Copies of this chain bind each other. A is one copy, B any other.
């Protein structure tokens, strides 16, 4: 592998000049530039990122921490992050934030010693510990979680989104609407959404009915049971994830209830899972891929701090309709 010195020698200039040309700085004649470029091509020279990073104390690496690597929501955000990073010439270093926060500590340390340009947290909040581990020079941003602390973030307004979703069902004519929540440990997502639902129901003078889920498909069937036990006449179910929504659709049909003729089901997120059931799930969409893209843009624009709220949007597909009369 050719080094900057090899190029310099071949072009008959100093390494400093080669560096200037390669990095597009000023201070050389056109003729010199041409000679350098020729040498670069001839030798197939490529900047050594390690050496550059060591000197400049910064690399073009973005750290990306996702809750589980295989998770429909995280995958779509990752897609956006990866695309935006690639466009800007950044590489993405992937880590997962398991239930154990020790994992994330280790990853953050690695990212710091690699002098990452910044880190993106999917569905995780920026804690003082996170900030400390990263040191003062590496910016962090969280995506898809409404952290009210004022840290940099890109997310929808979860309370409002759930409120709007519930209103949609209400406007369709439903009055007996059950809510299937996500993991209650998810304080920054599940709770605000629940508040939005409760508010909309209260405004419409409808009694709320709530069951506790986990966001995962597996929790859908039991959640439906809980809900039906509270009110067997429910005409609509609002699930806080498409996975749970899909489970409810399947389970309902298994029990001989038609969707949406007998009961409507509304999901959340608009992941690919929403279209993998029949009827396809109506859902409260988050622009996940776009959120991933925005996160890298915001992260790299060092003066763009604070939270960014992106619009949610209700997508109607086949799983919602007016209630039976």
Contact = CB atoms under 8 A, between A and B. Distances in A.
A276 B281 CA distance: 12
A92 interface: yes
Contacts of A95: 82, 86, 91-92
A303 interface: no
A107 B60 CA distance: 13
A11 interface: no
Nearest to A115: B50
A106 B91 CA distance: 10
Interface in A77-91: 78-79, 82-83, 86, 91
The number of times this chain is found in the oligomer is 2
Q: Is the interface of A mostly helix, strand, loop or mixed?
A: helix
Interface residues of A, number: 55
Contact of A110 (B91, B109, B249): B91
A184 interface: no
A246 interface: yes
A112 interface: yes
B68 A79 contact: yes
B69 A246 contact: no
Contacts of A96: 79, 82-83, 86
B79 A113 contact: no
* Nearest 5 pairs of A and B residues by beta carbon: A250-B278, A70-B75, A69-B79, A70-B79, A94-B94
23 contacts: A46-B113, A48-B113, A50-B59, A50-B113, A51-B54, A61-B93, A68-B79, A69-B78, A69-B82, A70-B272, A75-B75, A78-B94, A82-B95, A83-B96, A86-B103, A86-B106, A91-B93, A217-B276, A247-B276, A251-B278, A253-B278, A273-B273, A276-B277
